[in-house]
Structure 1
């Protein structure tokens, strides 16, 4: 990456318009294939701005040729993070790019495709490392492709084509010769914001490959689907993605694609306490493959991917083990065998707390509930994980400062409640997404309150507490519900055991900074003593 700019020198790029002007001056329109209408429109805007100085251009050219990406760095400054995140634009640091590019080039590809190219860091890296063959760089953002054109023009890449378009719609000639390599950092966009047509495409593409695709899959998973559909025997690739797919249910499609369809060769996983992306709280994984490869897979956890030098080494994991496993990270950290313990799910179901869809309406302070005369329609509620972490293993109603509106029947509506619900309608609470999908909108449901509550996301293992007053919990916590009725004494003994063994609990997933998260099924999988043994210990 480029070094810091001298404080005495005015910043060359202070806006997107200025960035476009710099790209135009560097020759973005002169090479790398025809411009799209959107790209041409951006570059026309550049004509209305002063041309960057010769000194500025010379400095930028020197930085690009030396291995930096001043255009991409400027883009990350002038475009707000919220806008970049909407397109999944999280840029990859230089050391990772170089290591991935070196791995790909060592396998002598004939064509290299930079998927979701951004400013073209991967396409530029393979060029600097001596690749002179056909390179295709594709991105849906026209400013990204204009930056890539500028970078590759400066590097003198004569066989590069930059495509402003969607990888999901890319087609490659069946007559292409040799091996095609796919490289890059697919955009990280969560499933919530994917267009319906993208989800339909994913289902159709998954069906064609015989892979079941979860509706919770993000855009990076769809990119892997597209690559699998474009690949032929002998093709290869190297991608860096958020690592969550290694262990979660909705990552099964990616695990199947990499293990069985694409031929995973190696997997380099970042330490959960570090991040490979500058502004994303996510652990990263680099997956490398060759279509047709079927031997053991090399797996390695790297303390800091940012200091990565090469994709080498690691523990050999058999293909059969990889295919059977639903939690790939555990293959590097196998759970210790503990005789006599059983999954918590043997005795209990775990459910997330109530999602109100409008906490500001449904959660009230005790004083507000009294003032509004809603005392008969509320129940004490645990609203923060800290209330469990600091509870000493028992949450009590009289220690809670908030209550939850709990109305089950329209017949319960007295004057005060009718007035409060009418106020909610005036503020359009009933039109919120979750409220709109409840009938009636004010009935939260959620079943009986749980006898045990647990934290599930913190920079520490889960903490457990009994809930003898049967307070409600919201969705920052999990509730543990016994499958068969047990006494409070058994619940208390189980909570004591769990909290005394927190440091030995395995499972869940770990994000950047050591943030651990347990989904309900993952919490059900933790190992506990049989309840009859707990009862015997209590009696003793």
Structure 2
């Protein structure tokens, strides 16, 4: 650690009007270490050898008793003058090497408040810094054990000093080390809370990149070695915590969308047990020295809630608690590769109404790559019925059904062959081989779609959807209950309920969609053609199951 002396007295943010006094008295990291020891850092556990070395180097630096007294008053009032001084003495560029970005108090308090009813027996801050999270949590949970971990010996001294002055020395430990090596468990519930360090992948040692990959593999997950350090902390927590432990981490929000963030998204849906994601826009300055979007993620290890809350705020004043916002079904999240759009404001549904995506997954039908080949006709005579599936192949088949599709005989058949033809009986396989000669002659094996299949002849129709809809027309989409067990190709969408819906509820849902969805909800192109992509259709507002079951959909 390089100790530097400021050329001029730094300006220290303070609510107590002591800026000039503090700047003059604590103008170097050595002086700051001396102050930490004078405030009682040595009374919180045992100092590491690095911390002792800092203390020895700072022994010749004396800060007045008046300044020490003023600092104590500020700390006891809930301020963090030590952290503020640290952030002035060490530039944001220098702190960025270790990912040290300090969190504003309103965010810290909101995260602690979220855990207020959880009654943890232990609090762990994996990147403790000056102990902003730990001191606030200590006040909220007066009986909990306190554990702070950091790799920076000066930050560790500051954390000890803040904990000592706040009166929490006897139940606190500060460990100088790497959180990825922390694996202590206790019988009671642990709250993991803090701001994991943000360090880009090119600053991470190869041995740790191997650690990330190997530890993720133990959970049957894949990790990218391009991941930033905060991803490692999510994984380390999921690996070492136990069921019912809880947590709240604030990090950069990029993991919601980038490829390397897939590991965090998998953890949120899996072992980590994600509860909510609250995004804070850069305009709110969630990280004062870094203009970036932040995300607060709350979790309960091992939990699998049906839905996770998503919310976005533009100002800290609007951060009125966590675990609120838009509820998004976990199955829906599992199908998405990017999550940030889910945090954007959307139309607030009336009481009892939800987004269609909370009830159903929406999937476009399969692309055949060559309808002239794969829709049965004279060229496919002789194929067995086992490979011919009644299928919606024209939008008008949905529109003309008037909400209920019952007659499969009126539909054309799509040829869907198994990738492994040995699954067929001898006579069926011979018939299929004769057809494939014709299909090759028609060029079915040469198209882009066919070249990207496991077997060029296997169309891979989706299972029959309980509800089918059109999605492109010069009119609103049409919906039908699929009693014909019909498949659908890519001229239609299939709606697959996430949970079991009774026939009464499905009918009420289709009846509502038939008359209450306008073209304005889709994407309208020149000439009046309106298109509904699957995710756009999932955002349609519909009555919830209770209202549908009660017939209250007017």
TM-score (norm 2): 0.58
- State the match for 1:297 in structure 2: 308
**Closer/same/farther in 2, CA of residues 260 and 4 from structure 1, 3 Å limit:** same
2:96 maps to which residue? 85
1:331 Cα deviation from its structure 2 partner: 2.1
Shift of residue 105, structure 1, vs aligned partner? 3.0
1:161-310 paired onto structure 2 within 5 Å: 161-173=173-185, 176-295=186-305, 296-305=307-316, 308-310=319-321
Q: How far, CA to CA, are the matches of 1:7 and 1:178 in structure 2?
A: 42
Structure 2 CA distance for aligned equivalents of residues 130 and 2 of structure 1: 26
What is the distance in 1 between the residues matched to 2:39 and 2:50? 18
Distance apart, 1:204 and its partner CA: 1.0
Relative distance call for 1:193 and 1:289 in structure 2 (3 A) is: same
1:160 aligns with 2:172: yes
Match of 1:320 in 2: 331
Which residues in structure 2 correspond to 1:95-110 (within 5 Å)? Answer: 95-110=106-121
SS at match of 1:198: helix
State the match for 2:433 in structure 1.
none
**Alpha-carbon spacing, 1:195–1:306, altered in 2? closer, same or farther (3 Å):** farther
Secondary structure, aligned partner of 2:191: strand
Aligned to 2:34: 21
Alignment root-mean-square deviation, CA = 2.6
Pick from 76, 87, 90 the counterpart of residue 65 of structure 1.
76
Q: Does 1:41 align with 2:53?
A: yes
Cα distance between partner residues in 2 of 1:145 and 1:48: 20
For 2:436, the equivalent position in structure 1 comes to none
Describe the SS at the equivalent of 1:168.
helix
Asked whether the equivalents of residues 191 and 247 of structure 2 are also in contact (C-alpha less than 8 Å), the reply is: yes
Partner in structure 2 of residue 138 of structure 1: 149
Structure 1 residues 335 and 25: alpha-carbon distance in aligned structure 2, compared to 1, 3 A threshold? closer
Q: After superposition, give the CA deviation of every residue in 1:299-327 in whole Å (9 maximum; x if it has no partner).
A: 11112247634224211111111222111
State how far apart, in whole Å, the 2-side matches of 1:73 and 1:306 are: 21
Relative contact order, higher structure (CA 8 A, sep 6+): 1
Residue 308 and residue 331 in structure 1: after superposition, are their counterparts in 2 closer, same or farther (change >3 A)?
A: closer
Contact 1:24–1:46 at 8 Å: present in 2 too?
Answer: no
Deviations 1:127-165 (A, max 9, x none): 222433111100011111110000000011121110000
Residue 110 of structure 1: how far off its partner (Å): 0.9
2:151–2:177 CA contact under 8 A, matched in 1 = yes
Residue aligned with 1:320, SS: helix
- Work out which of the residue numbers 40, 43, 58 in structure 2 matches 1:30: 43
Give distance in 2, aligned partners of 1:10 and 1:280.
25
Aligned counterparts of 1:140 and 1:10: Cα–Cα separation in 2: 26
Q: Distance in 1 between matches of 2:158 and 2:127?
A: 13
Cα distance between partner residues in 1 of 2:183 and 2:163:
22
Determine if contact 2:312/2:345 at 8 Å carries over to the other structure. Answer: no
CA distance in 2 between counterparts of 1:266 and 1:162 reads 29
Count how many residue pairs are aligned between Structure 1 and Structure 2: 341
